[in-house]
Structure 1
Amino acid sequence: MKTHLAHLLLVTTSIWLIPIPLAIAKPKPAQSVTVVPPQVISPAAALNRLIVAEKLDASWFTPAFLKAVDKNSDVNALQMQRDITMKLGRFRYGSYKSVQSIGGSKYRVLFERAEPDAVVIKLAIDAKGRIANLEISEKNKPAPKAPAQAAAQAALDKSFKTNTRANGESSPVLLSLKQ
C-alpha cells in the first residue's frame, strides 16, 4: 500500500507542478454608444429633399403643417399632393434641376424649360429643420384673349353637338360620352 500511496503522491505532485495554460478572459472595455443628435438641415436642403424624395417621411414636417394638409395628419395625403404638383411641373417646365435661394425664406425651383422665377416657394422650417409652412407661387401665364377663348368654346360645343372632330371626322369617343 505504501507503494501505491507513494505513486499516487508522485502523480499528484507532478500534476501540480505542470503548468496548466489557463485562458483568463480579459474584461471587455465598456461599450460606448455614441448618440448623434438629429442633423438639422438647411431650408434649401429640406426643400430639395421634399422635391426629389421617392417617399416622404412625416418626421420632415411639423405636426401643425401635416394637420393643415390633412385633418388626420396623414403624410400620404401630402405625398399625393406633392406627386401631382411635380408631374404638372414636369409637364409645364421639363425636368427638375435644383433649388436656389433668392433671399429671406424664398427659393426658386429651377426646371430645364422654365424661366428662373417661374416657380417660387416661400418656405418656413422650425428649429428642428422640419417644414412648418410652404407656399408655392407660379408666374401667371396670360389668359387667352376673349375672341380666342370664344372660338375654342365654340369648337368644343360643335364637337359635342355634332360628334365630329376638328378635322370633320366622326368621333366614336364623343358619341359614347353623349350616350
Structure 2
Amino acid sequence: MKTPLTSLVLALALQASVALAQQVEPEAAIERVFTADKLEEGWFSPAFLEALSLREIESFIKSFVSQHGKFRSVSGEAGEYVVELEKAEVPALIALDQEGRIAALRLQEAIPLASLDELAKTIAELPGETSLLVISGGQDVVADNAEAEMAVGSAAKIAIMKAAADAVQGGKLSWDQTFELKEEWRSLPTGILQDWPAGTPVTLSTLANLMISRSDNTATDAMVQIVGREAIEEITPTNKPFLTTREFFTLKAQPNAELFRSWVDAPADKRPELLERLRELPLPSGGEIITRPTLEVEWFMSGRELCELMEEVKDLPAMSINSGMASPDEWEKIAYKGGSEAGVLNLTTWLEDAEGTNHCVVATWNNPEEALDERRLMSAYRGVLRNLAPEGD
C-alpha cells in the first residue's frame, strides 16, 4: 500500500511528465523520428500505433532517409511542414495529441533537389517505357520520347473535355444543360456517381467537373454518350473506337477473357463490331477485374498530344479543381489531369506563373511486366515542377 507521500511524489512526477510531453513542438517531433537511432512507442498515440506498428513506422522513415539522405532541417507551421533531407524536400503533415504524442503523420512524395536534366534521366531509367515532355513559354525544354503513343489511363478524359467544349462552342450543348443519369452509364469507381440512382438530374458542367477532378467513371461514360463517341474519335483518332470506362472494365473482367483476346487480335476497323457484344454484357464487379498489367486494352496518347489538348481546355473550370502534383501557392493557374492503372501512370499539368509564362509537363510510365511503384515517378515529377516554379515562391 502506497503512503500519501509516495502517492504525492508519483502524482507530481506524472504531472511533470505530461507537462514535458506537451512542450514537444511539431518540428521537434518530426526531427526526432528522422534522427533517432530507435523510435519509442511513447512518442506516438495509441490510436496511431493501432494503425501502424512501430516497426512499420521505422521502415517508412528509413525508406526516405536511405533514398534521399540524412535529415537537415524542418520548417513550417500550423501542421504543414517541409522536411529537408540531403537530396530532397519532403512535405509533411503532423498532428500532436494533448500529451504531445504524434496522432497523425503524413509524408508526401519527396521533391528531389536535382536539376531538370538529372530528373529527366531518373525518369528515363525507370523500368519499362517512359516519356517526358516539358514545354516552357512555347519551347521544348525536355522532349524525351514525347511523340510515343503510350497507355495513359484516365488522362484520355482530356480528349472528352475537348469534344464537350467544341460542342458547347458550336451551340450543340450548354454547360448548364440537364440530363438524367441512365443505368447504362453506370460504371465502376473511381467516382461517386456510380452510387446515384438512375434518373438523377445532373448538368453537363457537373459531369465534366466530376470526370476531371475525381476521375468519375460514370460521369465519363455519360459525357461520352452525350458528346458522341465519333466527336471524341475525331480528336484522338488513335483511340478508335474510343472505349467507355464500362467497356474498358468489361473487357478486363476475368470471365470475359475470350472477348479480351478477340479485341486485342482484331484490327481497328473490326473492333466496332465487338462493341455490340460488349453492350450485351453486365457491368462486372470490381473483384472480377484483372489486377495484372493488361496494356493491350487502354487509351493511347503521346505527351505532345496531351499538351496540345491541355492547351485547348486549360481555361475550363473543371481542369483547375484538382491541382495534382503542383502547389497552388506557387502558381497563378493550374490545370491538371492524370491517369493510372496496373502498369500505367500519366501526369499531365499545365501551369501559368505570375509573369504570365506558361508551362506544360507530361510524364508517362508504362510497364507491361509489373505494377508500378508510382512514388518513383511522382517524386521526380514534383522535382520537375519545382525546377519550373518562379524563384522565391
SS, match of residue 99 in structure 1: strand
TM-score by length of 1: 0.50
Q: CA deviation at 1:139?
A: 4.5
Match of 2:56 in 1: 81
Match of 1:90 in 2: 65
Confirm whether residue 138 of structure 1 aligns to residue 109 of structure 2. yes
Confirm whether residue 68 of structure 1 aligns to residue 51 of structure 2. yes
Larger fraction in strand? 2
Match of 1:106 in 2: 80
Match of 2:32 in 1: 49
CA contact (8 A) 2:44 2:101 kept: yes
Question: Closer, same or farther in 2 for the Cα pair 1:124/1:33, shift >3 Å?
Answer: same
SS, match of residue 138 in structure 1: coil
Partners in 2 of 1:108 and 1:33 — Cα distance?
Answer: 41
Larger Rg over CA atoms: 1
Q: CA deviation at 1:84?
A: 2.5
Identity across the alignment (%): 30
Which letter does structure 1 place at the counterpart of 2:105? L
Unaligned runs of 5+ in 2: 112-118, 124-129, 132-144, 149-363, 370-393
1:128 to 91, 99, 111: 99
Partners in 1 of 2:50 and 2:58 — Cα distance?
Answer: 19
Partners in 2 of 1:83 and 1:125 — Cα distance?
Answer: 18
Partners in 2 of 1:66 and 1:96 — Cα distance?
Answer: 23
Partners in 2 of 1:136 and 1:51 — Cα distance?
Answer: 12
Which letter does structure 2 place at the counterpart of 1:81? E
Q: CA deviation at 1:106?
A: 1.0
Which letter does structure 1 place at the counterpart of 2:64? G
| CA distances 1:46-89 after superposition (whole Å, capped 9, x unpaired) | 111122222222221111111122xxxxxxx32x2233333332
Question: Closer, same or farther in 2 for the Cα pair 1:50/1:91, shift >3 Å?
Answer: closer
Match of 1:13 in 2: none
Partners in 2 of 1:46 and 1:95 — Cα distance?
Answer: 16
Q: CA deviation at 1:126?
A: 0.9
| CA distances 1:10-40 after superposition (whole Å, capped 9, x unpaired) | xxxxxxxxxxxxxxxxxxxx9x959351202
Partners in 2 of 1:139 and 1:95 — Cα distance?
Answer: 13
Structure 1 runs of 4+ with >2 Å offset: 32-36, 80-88, 139-144, 146-150
| CA distances 1:97-136 after superposition (whole Å, capped 9, x unpaired) | 1222x2310111111122xxx3111000011101111111
Taking CA–CA contacts closer than 8 Å with sequence separation of 6 or more, which of the two structures ends up with the larger relative contact order? 2
Partners in 1 of 2:109 and 2:100 — Cα distance?
Answer: 25
CA contact (8 A) 2:33 2:61 kept: no
Partners in 2 of 1:60 and 1:91 — Cα distance?
Answer: 22
Partners in 1 of 2:48 and 2:66 — Cα distance?
Answer: 27
Question: Closer, same or farther in 2 for the Cα pair 1:82/1:98, shift >3 Å?
Answer: farther
CA contact (8 A) 2:93 2:107 kept: yes
SS, match of residue 56 in structure 1: coil
Q: CA deviation at 1:153?
A: 7.0
